[in-house]
Amino acid sequence: MTTIDLGAKATVRWPTAPAQGPYALAVTRPDGQLVAPAPDVTGTGATTAAAFVPTMPGRHLLSWSKDGEAAYTDVLDVWPADPRYLIPLDQAKNGLSLPANADPAKYEDLRLFIAAATPVIEDITGPLLAATKSFIGWGGGSSVVLPYLPNAVLSVSVDGQPVAEYFPDPMTGIVYAGTRKALSYFPRGELVVAYTIGDAEIPPNVKLAARELVRHWWQIGMQGNGGGTRGSAPEADAFTPSGFAVPRRVMELCQANEKIGGFA
Helical H runs in the chain? 89-96, 104-125, 204-224, 248-254
Query: CA 37 to CA 241: how far, in whole Å?
Result: 47
Query: CA 147 to CA 165: how far, in whole Å?
Result: 21
Topology of 3-79 in CATH?
Immunoglobulin-like (2.60.40)
pLDDT band, residue 230 (cuts 50/70/90): very low
- Top-confidence residue, 84 or 231: 84
pLDDT band, residue 69 (cuts 50/70/90): confident
The answer on pLDDT for 255 being more than 80 is yes
Q: Under a CB-based contact definition with an 8 Å cutoff, are residues 99 and 218 in contact?
A: no
Burial class (CB in 10 A: 0-12, 13-18, 19+), 3: middle
Nearest Cα residue to 229 out of 212, 244, 242, 241? 212
pLDDT band, residue 235 (cuts 50/70/90): low
pLDDT band, residue 227 (cuts 50/70/90): very low
Give the pLDDT confidence score for residue 259 in this predicted structure: 63
Q: What is the mean pLDDT of residues 210-224?
A: 85
DSSP helix, strand, coil percent of the chain (3-state; round to 5):
25, 35, 45
Average pLDDT, the chain: 89
Give the residue extent of every domain in the chain: 3-79, 89-125+203-257, 131-197
Query: CA 33 to CA 31: how far, in whole Å?
Result: 6
Give the pLDDT confidence score for residue 104 in this predicted structure: 80
Q: Under a CB-based contact definition with an 8 Å cutoff, are residues 208 and 250 in contact?
A: no
pLDDT band, residue 215 (cuts 50/70/90): very high
The answer on pLDDT for 263 being more than 50 is no
Of 37-46, 141-150, 162-171, 226-235, minimum mean pLDDT range:
226-235
Q: Under a CB-based contact definition with an 8 Å cutoff, are residues 206 and 121 in contact?
A: yes
Topology of 131-197 in CATH?
Immunoglobulin-like (2.60.40)
- Rounded to 5 degrees, φ, ψ at 40 are -70, 135
Nearest Cα residue to 115 out of 77, 156, 71, 158? 77
When mean pLDDT is compared over 31-45, 84-98, 99-113, 221-235, the highest value belongs to 31-45
**pLDDT by residue (tens digit) across 108-154?**
889 999 999 999 999 999 999 999 999 999 999 999 999 988 999 99
Identify the helix (H) or strand (E) that includes residue 13: strand 10-13
Give the pLDDT confidence score for residue 223 in this predicted structure: 54
* Cβ-Cβ contacts under 8 Å for 197 (sequence gap 6 or more): 127, 130, 131, 132, 133, 148, 149, 150, 151
131-197 has the same fold as 3-79: yes
pLDDT band, residue 44 (cuts 50/70/90): very high
Nearest Cα residue to 33 out of 61, 53, 14? 61
When mean pLDDT is compared over 103-117, 157-171, 211-225, the highest value belongs to 157-171
Of 71-75, 144-148, 197-201, minimum mean pLDDT range:
197-201
Query: What DSSP string describes 19-82?
Result: SS--EEEEEE-TTSPBPSSPPPEE--GGG-EEEE---S-EEEEEEEEETTEEEEEEEEEEE-S-
Sheet hosting strand 131-138, strand order edge to edge = 131-138, 190-197, 152-158, 161-162
Give the pLDDT confidence score for residue 232 in this predicted structure: 44
